[in-house]
Structure 1
Amino acid sequence: MLAEFLGTFVLILLGVGSVAVSVVGLPGSGRQFVEFGPANWLIIAWGWGLAVVFGVYVAGGVSGAHLNPAVTLAFTVRRDFPLKKVPAYWLAQLCGAFVAAALVYACYHWAIDAANAKAGLPRDESLGTYSIFATFPAEYFGDSWWGPLLDQIVGTGILLLLICALIDLKNVAPLSNLHPFLIGLVVVAIGLTFGTNAGYAINPARDFGPRLFTYFEGWGDIALPGTFGWFNGYWWIPIVGPLIGGVVGVLVYDLMIKPLITARTQAMEDQEEGPATEEP
């Protein structure tokens, strides 16, 4: 639990920190004089990817570095992880995310307050500063809940499908402890391809821990129940979507790839052993 707590803490600290830099840090510091744009999005995408890398390195040798309730559930479904440990992992991940969000806020609350003052918005009406911590759906979805939910299912499905491929030693898995780097690149890729739909939470703890913190810190209904302008009661989608998507991802890999890899490996082993010889 301590490893999952600290690994998730590092993940959220660096990931949310990269969003804070992009949303309020650079614009408010006098170092950026243009509107939020593609360069800021690249900071966020790479920030989250590197956050995953170092979170996994922190916790991997102790807990396996799930750092994500969707990963824990998916590994449980494929019988790689005991069901009785799931609640403890989920609790540790949620607490790590909450505490990390609080530390990012402690470092950036001056920039957040300055951004809100410049925009003339009270905190509970500032979607921009709220977005530093947790996710929301793009405006083009309107009041649809299905679009963002599908996005979270697909994004997390991709994540778990590729994690399964990267850790499968019978496939072409990387060696020399390179798994964290490549899993981090998976997160970068998801951010660059599906990120703008709903903020690519793809991790219930990553969204709900900071969301809970922002609720207590004054963002009000934007955080819980997740209501602002075009979306209403959004809080559950970054939880349910990733949990479904994670299971879908491992099932796709285990049904379409794993049996073929296992059969090929067995055939190669049988060929190396050669035909059995009988005693005279």
Structure 2
Amino acid sequence: MSQRKQRTSTSSEAEKYKETASYHEDVSSSSQRAESFDGELAVHYTKYPNRWSRIREVLREPVAEFFGVMILIIFGTGVDCQVVLSGNTSVASSPKGDYLSLNFGWAVGTALGVWVSSGISGGHINPAVTIALATFRDFPWRKVPAYIFAQVMGGLCGAGIIYANYIHAIDIVEGGRNVRTLTTASLFSTYALDYMTSVSCFFDEFLGTAVLLIVVCAINDNRNGPPPPGLAPLVLFIMILGIGAALGMQTGYAINPARDLGPRLLTAMVGYGGQVFSFRNQYWLWCPVIAPIIGALVGTFLYDAFFFTGSESILNRPDARARAHHERAMAAERQRPIAGVENV
């Protein structure tokens, strides 16, 4: 009886061993097949695995700029609406913020907009930045129209989202759905204070954008203590907060044509009409559009002229004398005899 039990036990152990061995063989075979499959994928991998990937490759940079500006406007015009509209007791029982809140909102919007887009498109989110980098650096001019269009449309869509979110509060402040004045239009675009002259308005926007570009150039200069990877948005947060706190009162510190023009187009479309463009003899064009572009060009020029040494700046390209010296050096190098030939 004990021998029979022993044989049965031995038989069952043998079956278990076979099953275990078979399991390990199956696992090993599956692993080998997986490795082989991964190897085939690696061998046959293509940059465009499907049709959408080809379309995305063309769209991703302008779309990144679109979303970057849209996020900027959502936070910026959003904080404008919340702070200003809550000042009306029919909208809120107490004000929800102050001027410093406005500065923080625009700084947060800038930082997050750049964070979303910088790794894909460079995080310009500003036509003035795009034009300045195309003029003085190696940014391709062929990309400029798509970037600017995407930036302006991002501003329009961001403003549209905020307008839809605060439309009832705007109705209360304005006195009805069919009443729209510059009182609430200024929540979306910039309008100078009454005492400001045209020259003063232009200079205010010019100055703010010139400072902006000097800092942007410093952030991207590897020879001038750039911020650690991923922390450029933090520097931009501090910069926009400072510009708003120091230079923002008189013209609303647009310092970005897309930030102003996109929302201005939105206000014209939703009932504010032509008054948003006729204000102060086409103020919308010469102050928040032209002044920032000129300020950006001057700011980039000053940085490249006195600080930047990289070859991508047009101010650091070799002149005729340097090119001639290079040609003479190359000719002299070609005329040197091969080592050891003179001893033959």
Range into which the TM-score falls when normalised by the shorter chain? 0.7 to 0.9
Asked whether the 8 Å contact 2:178–2:271 carries over to 1, the reply is no
SS of 2:103's equivalent in the other structure is helix
Does the alignment pair 1:51 with 2:109?
yes
**One-letter identity of the residue aligned with 1:114:** I
CA positional deviation for 1:247: 0.5
1:86-142 deviation line (CA, Å, top 9, x unaligned): 00000000111001100000000001111112xx99734x3221111000111111x
SS of 1:223's equivalent in the other structure is helix
2:152 corresponds to? 94
Q: 1:29 aligns with which of 88, 92, 109?
A: 92
**One-letter identity of the residue aligned with 1:232:** N
CA positional deviation for 1:26: 5.3
Does the alignment pair 1:138 with 2:193?
yes
Distance in 2 (CA, whole Å) between partners of 1:29 and 1:166 is: 41
Asked whether the 8 Å contact 2:83–2:95 carries over to 1, the reply is no
Q: 1:253 aligns with which of 282, 303, 310?
A: 303
SS of 1:199's equivalent in the other structure is coil
Q: 2:233 aligns with which of 164, 171, 180?
A: 180
Distance in 1 (CA, whole Å) between partners of 2:177 and 2:71 is: 31
Instruction: State how 1:89-168 maps to structure 2 within 5 Å.
Output: 89-117=147-175, 123-124=179-180, 126-141=181-196, 144-168=197-221
Distance 1:158 1:123, change over 3 A: farther
Tell me which stretches of 4 or more aligned residues in structure 1 moved more than 6 Å.
none
2:21 corresponds to? none
Taking CA–CA contacts closer than 8 Å with sequence separation of 6 or more, which of the two structures ends up with the larger relative contact order?
A: 1
Q: What 5-or-longer segments of structure 1 have no aligned partner?
A: 34-38, 261-278
Normalised by the size of structure 2, how large is the TM-score?
A: 0.69
Asked whether the 8 Å contact 1:16–1:132 carries over to 2, the reply is yes
Distance 1:123 1:235, change over 3 A: farther
Distance in 2 (CA, whole Å) between partners of 1:92 and 1:129 is: 25
2:40 corresponds to? none
Q: What 5-or-longer segments of structure 2 have no aligned partner?
A: 1-61, 311-338, 340-344
SS of 1:258's equivalent in the other structure is coil
Q: 1:216 aligns with which of 244, 262, 269?
A: 269
1:266 corresponds to? none
Over alpha carbons, which structure has the higher Rg? Answer: 2
Asked whether the 8 Å contact 1:23–1:128 carries over to 2, the reply is no
Instruction: Please identify, of 59-68 and 21-30, the stretch whose mean Cα deviation from structure 2 is larger.
Output: 21-30
Asked whether the 8 Å contact 1:130–1:222 carries over to 2, the reply is no
Asked whether the 8 Å contact 1:54–1:180 carries over to 2, the reply is yes
Distance in 2 (CA, whole Å) between partners of 1:233 and 1:90 is: 20
Percent pairwise identity: 38
Distance in 2 (CA, whole Å) between partners of 1:201 and 1:177 is: 25
Q: 1:17 aligns with which of 70, 75, 78?
A: 78
Asked whether the 8 Å contact 2:192–2:250 carries over to 1, the reply is yes
Distance 1:242 1:123, change over 3 A: farther
Instruction: Please identify, of 195-204 and 72-81, the stretch whose mean Cα deviation from structure 2 is larger.
Output: 72-81
Asked whether the 8 Å contact 2:182–2:276 carries over to 1, the reply is no
Distance 1:249 1:123, change over 3 A: farther
Over aligned residue pairs, what C-alpha RMSD do you find? 2.1
Distance in 2 (CA, whole Å) between partners of 1:45 and 1:194 is: 11
CA positional deviation for 1:163: 0.8
**Number of aligned pairs?**
248
Distance in 2 (CA, whole Å) between partners of 1:181 and 1:149 is: 28
2:143 corresponds to? 85
SS of 2:250's equivalent in the other structure is helix
